[in-house]
């Protein structure tokens, strides 16, 4: 992976390998873990602008951070330009100098509400949203897909519009909305975005190894890559991509469990870390039996005991 610093508006990230926003996973402890393993920039789970407006407790919990995390980006979604601007200016987004606008989420309830990937079909509204958010004073970035389906690829023109509206960086997931996370990544479409704009373009899709990242960069000319699902199976993929030192899986798990317990209640910590442990044992001999035991665990201490049995050096 060819590493270099990357400018996002008036901010400089120390490298060009980013952690994607992942609903249900990229909470503060997980972002902090990935940042420590070398991720140049980490994104929160996507947050509803409407939820911020109406003071949703769950929405505010998604935005927990502290000075130990360093620079991070908050991702928001919505379809009303003024509500989106108000979200950027919300007290809970103060710690985040970068706000990313989700224009690629394929989830049906988001799409049907005119949000996420639905904005690919309304570039004028998408422009209005970016322009309104830029007025907040935040550095605004946008995450898009290449279109709704193969018959309606919009990457090049949409990227131009986002740059014109004031976006400082664009991430392109090289799949259409209808493919969700399956199918080949369209290198050419990401390349079109890169050639169409003068702001940085981050390529997203299919990065599970250093070789994948290199190929994505080579085929698209992108300025960097964004890692998504691969980080759920092994957050230390960022070590392999950036040259940071690795540690044992047990040490990694203990760290994440501790940090999660420090900022979340016991019930959430138990449920979340059971889920993470299930990702981490994938492919191991006896993984199915370990998963059965993990999902019967009723406390962080029980989970830790099982983890030490699995990964004890």
Contact in structure between 189 and 145 (CB atoms under 8 Å): no
Token readout for 274 is 């059971």
How big is the CA angle at 140 (ends 135 and 143), to the nearest 5 degrees? 140
Contact in structure between 65 and 42 (CB atoms under 8 Å): no
Look at residues 51, 36, 97 and name the one whose alpha carbon lies nearest to residue 258. Answer: 36
Which string of DSSP letters, residue by residue, matches 9-66?
A: TTEEES-SEEEPP-TTT--HHHHHHHHHTT-SEEEEEEEEHHHHHTT-HHHHHTT---
Q: What are phi and psi of 6, to 5 degrees?
A: -145, 135
CB-based burial, 134-162: b 16+ in 10 Å, e otherwise: bebebbbbbbbbbbbeeeebbbbebbebb
Token readout for 130 is 């970016």
Ranges assigned E (strand) in the chain: 6-8, 11-13, 17-19, 41-48, 73-77, 98-103, 139-145, 169-173, 201-204, 224-227
- Which of 105, 133, 239, 264 is catalytic? The answer is 105
CA distance 80 to 196: 27
CA distance 204 to 48: 22
- Mark whether 105 is an active-site residue: yes
Instruction: State CA 153 to chain mean position distance.
Output: 23
Strands 169-173 and 201-204, bridge-based pairing: parallel
Q: Which residues are catalytic?
A: 105
């Amino acid at each position: 992976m060819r590493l270099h610093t990357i400018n996002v508006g008036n901010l400089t990230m120390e490298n060009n390998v980013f952690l994607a926003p992942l609903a249900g996973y990229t909470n503060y402890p997980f972002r902090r873990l990935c940042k420590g393993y070398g991720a140049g920039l980490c994104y929160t789970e996507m947050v509803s602008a409407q939820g911020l407006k109406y003071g949703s407790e769950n929405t505010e919990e998604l935005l927990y951070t502290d000075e130990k995390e360093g620079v991070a980006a908050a991702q928001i979604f919505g379809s009303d330009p003024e509500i989106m601007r108000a979200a950027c200016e919300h007290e809970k987004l103060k710690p985040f100098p970068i706000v990313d606008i989700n224009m690629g989420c394929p989830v049906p309830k988001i799409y049907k509400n005119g949000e996420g990937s639905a904005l690919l079909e309304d570039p004028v509204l998408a422009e209005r949203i970016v322009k309104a958010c830029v007025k907040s004073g935040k550095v605004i970035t946008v995450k898009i897909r290449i279109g709704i389906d193969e018959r309606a690829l919009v990457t090049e023109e949409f990227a131009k519009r986002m740059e014109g509206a004031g976006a400082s960086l664009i991430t392109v997931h090289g799949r259409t909305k209808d493919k969700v996370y399956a199918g080949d990544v369209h290198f050419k479409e990401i390349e079109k975005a890169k050639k169409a704009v003068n702001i940085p373009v981050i390529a997203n899709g299919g990065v599970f190894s250093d070789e994948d990242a290199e190929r994505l960069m080579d085929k698209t000319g992108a300025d960097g890559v964004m890692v998504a699902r691969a980080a759920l199976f092994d957050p230390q993929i960022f070590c392999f991509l950036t040259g940071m030192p690795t540690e044992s899986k047990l040490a990694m798990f203990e760290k994440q469990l501790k940090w999660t317990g420090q900022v979340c209640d016991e019930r959430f910590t138990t449920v979340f870390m059971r889920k993470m442990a299930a990702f981490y044992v994938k492919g191991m001999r006896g993984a199915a039996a370990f998963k059965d035991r993990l999902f019967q665990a009723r406390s962080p201490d029980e989970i830790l005991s099982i983890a030490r049995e699995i990964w004890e050096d």
